[in-house]
Amino acid sequence: MAAREAAVEAALIRPVTTADHDAIWSIVEPAIRAGETLAIPRDMSREEALRLWTSPERTVRLLEEDGEILGVFYILANQAGGGSHVANAAYVTASHANGRGVARRMCAASLDLARQQGYRAMQFNFVIATNHRAVALWQAMGFGVIGRLPAVFDHPKEGLVDAFVMHRFL
């Protein structure tokens, strides 16, 4: 069995507990501070970030491998009412686990979870266009770019950049 296949088998997707808050913060804080991929304030506090990521309307999951939490994601309804059949999601991989298939596994798990919860599609409203790895991964996972929002994200290195709206049916 290939090493990558063994890693996939060793990974566990599980719900979050309050005991996981330190691990969640250790994963999301670097992404928040970098300000390159998440459209949230770069100075967000730990309490604000945890309140956002673990709010009741979100279904939050962790990817754990060999007892180490390598990623966190959530899904929620993209809109209320007539749009509530479409899920939205966000993912953050621990920086030291980049390139190990964590985001791919979290995305696959989120699609399964969305189906289980009765969603019919998933939509990402704001994928930063300069996040080339994420855009390529979401496209490989079946998402299409259905809209381009020009100069809507103030990237700390690139200046004003575009964002994509990406969608796929479940």
Instruction: Give residue-wise pLDDT tens across range 103-134.
Output: 999 999 999 999 999 999 999 999 999 999 99
As a whole-number percent, the residues of the chain with pLDDT over 70 amount to: 94
What does the pLDDT look like over 141-158, one tens digit per residue?
999 999 999 999 999 999
Q: Ramachandran region of residue 119, left (φ > 0), alpha (ψ -120 to 50) or beta?
A: beta
Rg (CA), the chain: 16
Q: What is the Cα–Cα distance from 157 to 135, expressed in whole angstroms?
A: 18
In this structure, is residue 96 part of a structural domain? yes
In this structure, is residue 102 part of a structural domain? yes
CATH at 117: 3.40.630.30
Domain that holds residue 78: 3-122
CA dist list (Å): 76 to 58, 97, 137, 146: 5, 25, 20, 20
In this structure, is residue 92 part of a structural domain? yes
Average pLDDT over residues 39-47: 97
Domain count, the chain: 1
Token reading at 3? 């090493």
In this structure, is residue 134 part of a structural domain? no
End-to-end CA distance of the chain: 30
In this structure, is residue 15 part of a structural domain? yes
The 59-65 sheet, strands edge to edge: 11-15, 59-65, 68-77, 86-93, 121-128, 159-169, 144-155
In this structure, is residue 129 part of a structural domain? no
In this structure, is residue 144 part of a structural domain? no
Token reading at 33? 């501070």
pTM over 0.85: yes
Q: Between 11 and 40, name the one with better pLDDT.
A: 40
Report whether 151 contacts 162 (CB < 8 A).
Answer: yes
Q: What is the Cα–Cα distance from 26 to 5, expressed in whole angstroms?
A: 26
In this structure, is residue 130 part of a structural domain? no
